[in-house]
Amino acid sequence: MPKVHFKNLDKTVEALEGQSILDAALDNDILLTHDCGGNCTCSTCHVVILEGMEHLSPKDESEQDQLEMAEGLTPTSRLSCQARIFGDVALVIPSNGSSQAPASNPAFKIGAPTG
């Protein structure tokens, strides 16, 4: 089974091959904002891939269009609802997304609404 390492949470989870990053996160009690319900009509589930981009499904035009609205966009940004996992991946959830990050870390806004 592929593994997804959420670096800023120091948590690694197993995912089913072909599963989205969002579903892998939610299945493992990692809260990741997804205002549109994972339908690629917002950018709140934005993640930044650190390693393993080649183990994800290709980015399509609709995902790229939505990503343009994401805060903190990088060349390795993906929408977690659209990126399907086919091998090990390491990523970070930007600080404007929700996560189960330690409350003592001011870099995280746990449960904060995103713009």
- For residue 26, what is the domain's CATH number? 3.10.20.30
The vertex-46 CA angle with 91 and 55, nearest 5°, equals: 45
- Closest by alpha carbon to 107, among 92, 88, 86? 92
Q: How far is it, in rounded angstroms, from Cα 33 to Cα 40?
A: 13
Where does the pLDDT of residue 95 fall: very low under 50, low under 70, confident under 90, or very high at 90 and above? confident
Which H or E run includes 49?
A: strand 46-51
57 domain-assigned: yes
Where does the pLDDT of residue 52 fall: very low under 50, low under 70, confident under 90, or very high at 90 and above? very high
Residue 88 structural domain: 3-92
103 domain-assigned: no
Q: Is the pLDDT score of 10 beyond 50? A: yes
79 domain-assigned: yes
61 domain-assigned: yes
pLDDT over 70, % of the chain: 83
The tokens for 108 are 């995280």
40 domain-assigned: yes
108 domain-assigned: no
Query: How many independent structural domains does the chain possess?
Result: 1
Q: What is the pLDDT of residue 96?
A: 59
Q: How far is it, in rounded angstroms, from Cα 59 to Cα 51?
A: 16
113 domain-assigned: no
